Structure 1
Amino acid sequence: MLNDPRSHGLWEKTAPPAPVTSSLIGDVTADVAIVGGGFTGLSAALHLAEAGRKAVVLEATEVGFGGAGRNVGLINGGMWVMPNDLPGVLGPTYGERVLELLGGAPLVVRQLIEKHAIACELETNGTLHCAVGDDGLKELEERHRQWKARGAPVELLSAEETAARIGSTGYSGALYDRRAGTLQPLAYVRGLAHAALAAGAGLHTGSPVEGYEKTGSGWRVRTPGGSVTAQWILVATDAYSTGPFSSVRTEQIHLPYFNFATRPLGDNLSRSVLPGREGCWDTKEILSSFRMDQAGRLVFGSVGALRNTGYAVHKAWAKRAMKRLFPQLGDIEFESEWYGKIGMTADAVPRFHRFAERVVGFSGYNGRGIAPGTVFGQTLARHILGDIAEADLPLPVTDPKDQSFRAVKEAWYEAGAQVAHFAGERF
């Protein structure tokens, strides 16, 4: 997008076209003005439109321009935080609510894809959280215990079982989550946009929100070319927030994340590398993730930005890491490369904000955008429709709070990833 091959990489090359849209010109009225055309905003628009409400989405750039179109494509249940830790962070009521909602979120994604015939390379064979060493295995044993206590369909695999599923002996075990899966994220978010339009929602790209003000009993949301007057404003901008909702951005630390994609591996290699097409990530602090796309490309990623000196460092590291995990691949060449930003909150837990009366939004997905973004958008729609009271939402109301030393921390993480990857996988 914007003539930058490192913004969306493989996903832009292989996704079906986005719907034809235009910038907002003139003044329109709606029931809900939605700021942001990613998973949350478009899921909310779709559910509102299906309920007969007029929703208008205002996207600053293009559908899926932010994290929705750049991530690795894992449909996960839950968050990074251990299941038993969420009630400790949020309190028992909200902690259990959000666990129940997010535990079932992958199923909601599958149902939407099936209902609206979204072509997005959906794979439903689960995910593998891969243990690195004894410490990694202990972490997964505890995650397994906590999820099983809640009835989740998870299974702890031995090193041998893990090797059979992955095609690599590099891990000491894995947590297999049957709820989860993978998809082509840009194709999915574009599919949500098509479905929302078909249901009657409005969608304007190239329409950054410059401000909003009270007008009578509602709100007027301004863009360079026009405005939307609505009873509600739904804020769905997350880590890429700018303008009047930039506080959503400044309460998060940006963690850069990159992906490289090989050429299609061919039938022989595809049978030995992830034959079941599970999505994978490991337990390292600077983690790696990998999965196959529908054409047999291996997508491999980690923390870091593909810019300046980071480009060469991370690319060389990725080749070394993949060669160690999958020596059967031989000389590795990449077809696509891209990176984006993960927004991390201070406690790795999402937020619900009420910026003003009837101006609300969820944010802070901490690298878990696909399933949480989809169900949080659905939840916001139900709240606006009156089906869920604010007191019954899965997260409490909080005010945005800037993280201290944010710029310093972000520079440190980007540089630290380069240092780690420069030295990593050399022996």
Structure 2
Amino acid sequence: MIQNELPSIANSVWSATAAPPPDCPPLVGDHQVDVVIIGGGFTGLTAALHLAEAGISAMVLEAETPGWGASGRNGGQINPGLKEDPDAVERHFGPVFGPRAVKVSGGAADFVATLIARHEIDCGFSQRGWVQPVHDATAMTTITKRVEQWQRRGAPLRLLSRQDASEILGTDAYLGGMIDERGGQLHPLNYAIGLARAALKAGAVLHGHTRAVSIEKQGAGHLVKCANGTVKAGRVLICTNGYTDDVAPRVRRSVVPIRSIQIATDPLSDNLRRSILPFGHSASDSRRLLLYFRFDADGRFLMGGRGDYTEKGLKRQFASLKSVTETLYPQLGGVPWKYGWGGFVAMTADHYPHLSSPEAGIMSAVGYNGRGVAMATALGKVLADWASGVAEKDLDFPVTHLRPIPFHFLRKPAVTAMIAWSRLKDKLG
């Protein structure tokens, strides 16, 4: 179970099967480091690892334990690229940073693979490819353009016919799709725990159960206050994503936390496994309210989708996931679903991650829009580069101005309305 979480979204297969976490005692007393990192997920841990390897003193402050947030709860799919396609990314960020953003996002899955190999992280990693199944003709047009744009840049993507998709997925429910050979999958909480161990080994300091309360300017640096201590640092990295609180109010108002939920079985029999995703791919489809599904390394089947803010809504959405799974794979009818859990994904108004500087000496990276395993890791390295002294103009991803979302206090009813509208459009095609 996920500790200190709502019982209705705490029964996580990742928590149940995770390796023991490293010792990360709470912060006590006053300290000083070169860089203080708020948030112990993929972004903060990757930043800490690279800073420590460069000989820069780094301290992570995590309100719970490493990987407690979305980093330890997600579907474990390592999907390359951003939500928007390469041509749109280059138009959005311009001729200098557009190609850099395409390159770093397209290479993010391979970057994860390199980190796992270099630090020997045991997290059920495989890189057999990511499949995006297509649910209607309009989406097929979009996917066709996506494949063409990435192929033009030398990426290993290809279209799938209806028969191809049926053979790869084990269901004929989709019209076709695409496959991106760069994609992979892992046990996300064990990946976070592995990053934490690697960062500690490199010399970083990690404090769990240590919530940052405030950030104050002090001389040439900043003072981060916690319940039982302080940290003074020349630079501050905010890596809290969908769990950002009032320690960084401008950052918090720039994203909308949307709950995503998942269900999982116990390990299935060989007969069942051979009939579903027989080649070991992971999948997330083309619906506006997408479904994402795969097997874990031990043969458990996982299905994920959009959640809800209320207990009643969560119960309904968990039931809906089970129902849609049995529609795609009737052979799973009657199979017990042992696990059900959820967490917040941070969405941005423009669908792009935001690397931003709320004020001098502070940098944040948030808003992965469902691509967090790969992009959070990649931007953790970019944050480390900035904290090491690399100028903004030389970073691999653009720094943009924070733009608080208007009427942010109305985010929950707005998201609920958007989900209802998206669900209707999915049904209507």
TM-score with structure 1 setting the length: 0.94
Quote how far apart the aligned CAs of 1:244 are: 2.3
User: What is the aligned partner in structure 1 of residue 412 from structure 2?
Assistant: 410
Quote how far apart the aligned CAs of 1:92 are: 2.3
* Residue pair 1:314, 1:418 contacting (<8 A) in 2 also: no
User: What is the aligned partner in structure 1 of residue 23 from structure 2?
Assistant: 20
- Deviation string 1:278-336 (CA, Å, 9 cap, x unpaired) is 11111111111101111111110111227421133112212221111111223132110
Cα distance change, pair 395–57 in 1 and its aligned pair in 2 (3 A): same
User: Which shows bigger deviation, 358-367 or 388-397?
Assistant: 388-397
5 Å-filtered alignment, 1:282-293, equals 282-293=285-296
Quote how far apart the aligned CAs of 1:123 are: 1.5
- Deviation string 1:83-117 (CA, Å, 9 cap, x unpaired) is 21112222222111110011111111011111111
User: What is the aligned partner in structure 2 of residue 392 from structure 1?
Assistant: 394
* Residue pair 1:255, 1:414 contacting (<8 A) in 2 also: no
Residue 312 (structure 1) aligned with residue 308 (structure 2): no
5 Å-filtered alignment, 1:200-219, equals 200-219=203-222
User: Which shows bigger deviation, 156-165 or 237-246?
Assistant: 237-246
- Deviation string 1:196-225 (CA, Å, 9 cap, x unpaired) is 011110000111111122333222211111
5 Å-filtered alignment, 1:137-176, equals 137-176=140-179
| d(CA) in 2 for partners of 1:13, 1:154 | 35
User: What is the aligned partner in structure 2 of residue 255 from structure 1?
Assistant: 258
Cα distance change, pair 421–320 in 1 and its aligned pair in 2 (3 A): farther
Cα distance change, pair 306–335 in 1 and its aligned pair in 2 (3 A): farther
- Deviating 4+ runs (over 4 angstroms): 415-425
* Residue pair 2:287, 2:426 contacting (<8 A) in 1 also: no
Unaligned runs of 5+ in 1: none
Please, which of 288, 300, 304 is the counterpart of residue 303 of structure 2? 300
Cα distance change, pair 420–105 in 1 and its aligned pair in 2 (3 A): closer
| d(CA) in 2 for partners of 1:321, 1:190 | 32
Provide the identity percentage: 37
- Deviation string 1:321-371 (CA, Å, 9 cap, x unpaired) is 111111122313211001111111111011121122221122211111111
User: What is the aligned partner in structure 1 of residue 3 from structure 2?
Assistant: 2
* Residue pair 2:157, 2:180 contacting (<8 A) in 1 also: yes
Please, which of 240, 245, 248 is the counterpart of residue 245 of structure 1? 248
Quote how far apart the aligned CAs of 1:423 are: 13
Quote how far apart the aligned CAs of 1:2 are: 2.5
| d(CA) in 1 for partners of 2:60, 2:279 | 37
* Residue pair 1:129, 1:283 contacting (<8 A) in 2 also: yes
**AA at the equivalent of 1:16:** A
User: What is the aligned partner in structure 1 of residue 121 from structure 2?
Assistant: 118
Q: Between Structure 1 and Structure 2, how many residues are aligned?
A: 424
Quote how far apart the aligned CAs of 1:57 are: 0.4
* Residue pair 1:351, 1:395 contacting (<8 A) in 2 also: no
Please, which of 166, 169, 192 is the counterpart of residue 189 of structure 1? 192
The alignment yields a C-alpha RMSD, in angstroms, of 2.0
Quote how far apart the aligned CAs of 1:408 are: 3.2
Please, which of 253, 257, 268 is the counterpart of residue 271 of structure 2? 268
| d(CA) in 2 for partners of 1:134, 1:357 | 48
| d(CA) in 1 for partners of 2:91, 2:127 | 31
User: Which shows bigger deviation, 344-353 or 326-335?
Assistant: 326-335
5 Å-filtered alignment, 1:211-230, equals 211-230=214-233
- Deviation string 1:366-405 (CA, Å, 9 cap, x unpaired) is 111111111111112122223x321122343333222123
SS of residue in 2 equivalent to 1:346: coil
| d(CA) in 1 for partners of 2:367, 2:260 | 16
SS of residue in 1 equivalent to 2:86: coil
Please, which of 54, 59, 67 is the counterpart of residue 64 of structure 1? 67
TM-score with structure 2 setting the length: 0.94
User: What is the aligned partner in structure 1 of residue 281 from structure 2?
Assistant: 278
Please, which of 74, 79, 92 is the counterpart of residue 77 of structure 2? 74
